[in-house]
C-alpha cells in the first residue's frame, strides 16, 4: 500500500516538472487524446490537473496511512476524495481562468470589414493610400482605396466598407 502511494507521489511530482517544461505540448496532446468524449469534461484531464491529483493522492495516502488508524479502504477513499477535490479546485481556480486569458494576435484581412481606421497616407479619388486599423491588442496598416471615389486626407477617421483583392475600401465616418 505504501509503495503505491510513494509511486503516485513521485510520479506526480515528476509529471508536474515535465508539465512545467512541456505544458503547452502536453495540453494539446490531451485535447486530442480525449477528443472522442462527447461531453466537455476532457478539459479536466489537463496535465497540470492530473499531476496535481496524482501527487495529492500519493501524499494524502502516505499521511493517512501513517497517522490515522483507518483501514486500507478508508485511506484509499479519503485519498481519492482529496485528490479529486484538489484536481477540480486546480481546474476551476487555475486552468479555466488561464484558458480565458489567452489572446491571439492572428486575424484575417476579411475580418476588417466594418472596422474603424485612420488614414495615414492620403487616399486620392482614383488611387491608393494607407490606413491604420486597430486589430486586437495592436495596430496594423493596410493599402486602402476610397469606396466612394472621393479624396480622403490623412488623419481622417474612416470605416472599412469592403475588402477586395487585398485592398481595404474605406469611406469617411460621418
The pTM is what? 0.52
Q: Parse the chain into domains and list their residue ranges.
A: 2-101, 109-172
Q: Hunting for cell 490623412 — which residue is that?
A: 154
The confidence score (pLDDT) of residue 24 equals 61
Question: Kind of pairing, strands 167-172 and 138-146?
Answer: parallel
The confidence score (pLDDT) of residue 51 equals 84
CB 58, CB 5: distance < 8 Å: yes
145-165 pLDDT, tens digit per residue, is 999 999 999 999 999 999 999
Cβ-in-10-Å burial (0-12, 13-18, 19+) of 79 comes to: buried
The confidence score (pLDDT) of residue 43 equals 62
CATH code of the region 109-172: 2.40.50.140
The confidence score (pLDDT) of residue 38 equals 46
What's phi and psi for 88, nearest 5 deg? -65, -40
Q: Hunting for cell 511530482 — which residue is that?
A: 13
Each residue's pLDDT, cut to its tens digit, for the chain (174 residues) gives 889 999 999 998 888 788 777 766 655 555 555 555 444 555 667 777 888 899 999 999 999 999 988 999 999 999 999 999 998 888 888 888 877 776 666 788 888 999 999 999 999 999 999 999 988 778 899 999 999 999 999 999 999 999 999 999 999 987
Cβ-in-10-Å burial (0-12, 13-18, 19+) of 157 comes to: middle
Amino acid at each position: 500500500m505504501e509503495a503505491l502511494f510513494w509511486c503516485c507521489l513521485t510520479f506526480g511530482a515528476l509529471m508536474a516538472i515535465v508539465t512545467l517544461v512541456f505544458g503547452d505540448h502536453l495540453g494539446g496532446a490531451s485535447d486530442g487524446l480525449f477528443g472522442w468524449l462527447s461531453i466537455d469534461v476532457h478539459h479536466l484531464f489537463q496535465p497540470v490537473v492530473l499531476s496535481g491529483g496524482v501527487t495529492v493522492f500519493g501524499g494524502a495516502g502516505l499521511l493517512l496511512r501513517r497517522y490515522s488508524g483507518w483501514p486500507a479502504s478508508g485511506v484509499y477513499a479519503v485519498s481519492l476524495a482529496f485528490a479529486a477535490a484538489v484536481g477540480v479546485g486546480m481546474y476551476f481556480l487555475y486552468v479555466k481562468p488561464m484558458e480565458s486569458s489567452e489572446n491571439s494576435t492572428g486575424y484575417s484581412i476579411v475580418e476588417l470589414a466594418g472596422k474603424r481606421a485612420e488614414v495615414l497616407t492620403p487616399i486620392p479619388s482614383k488611387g491608393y493610400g494607407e490606413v491604420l486599423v486597430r486589430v486586437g491588442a495592436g495596430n496594423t496598416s493596410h493599402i486602402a482605396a476610397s469606396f466612394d471615389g472621393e479624396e480622403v486626407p490623412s488623419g481622417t477617421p474612416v470605416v472599412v466598407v469592403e475588402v477586395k483583392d487585398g485592398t481595404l475600401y474605406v469611406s469617411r465616418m460621418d
